Amino acid sequence: MTERRQRDQQGQVLILAVFVMAFLFVPLAIYVIDSGLVEAAHVQTGETLQAAAEDGAQSIDVAAFRNSGGQVVRLDPDQARAASDRSLRASRLPGLEGWTIGVSGNTVTVTARVRVNLFVLGAVTLTQSKGATFAIGT
């Protein structure tokens, strides 16, 4: 009986180790690498969109400013869109698939889709928005 039990237990540690590798360590390794890549892309996308929104939000309406003798200082929506667009293009953000720039009142909002190639799990698409508000004298 004892001998049979010992025979049954042969190789059990190896099987356990294989299970631990397959169901714990390998998924954990994939998670560590791929989530790191996603986080890096997320952080950089956020910083780039913020900069693009800020670049757009400082586009004053030059004609209105000059015609009013410096009394009217307001955001030029078309210039703001163009400036944010130039900023995003200049950033050469990796995986940038598409973006939209919205101007509402004095606020410029930039939304972008970024494709992140992962190490194991293929690719994911991140969508993120950042905004900046036109302000005078701050």
Query: Alpha-carbon Rg of the chain, whole angstroms?
Result: 27
Q: Does 48 bind other proteins (CB under 8 A)?
A: yes
Binding residue for other proteins, selected from 1, 4, 22, 33, defined by CB under 8 A: 33
Phi then psi for residue 117, to 5 deg, are: -80, 125
DSSP codes of every residue in 30-53: HHHHHHHHHHHHHHHHHHHHHHHH
Query: Which is closer to other proteins, CB of 13 or CB of 136?
Result: 13
Residues lying near other proteins in the complex (CB under 8 A) are found at 2-3, 6-7, 9-14, 16-17, 20-21, 25, 28-29, 32-33, 36-37, 39-40, 43-44, 47-48, 51, 55, 58, 83, 86-87, 89-92
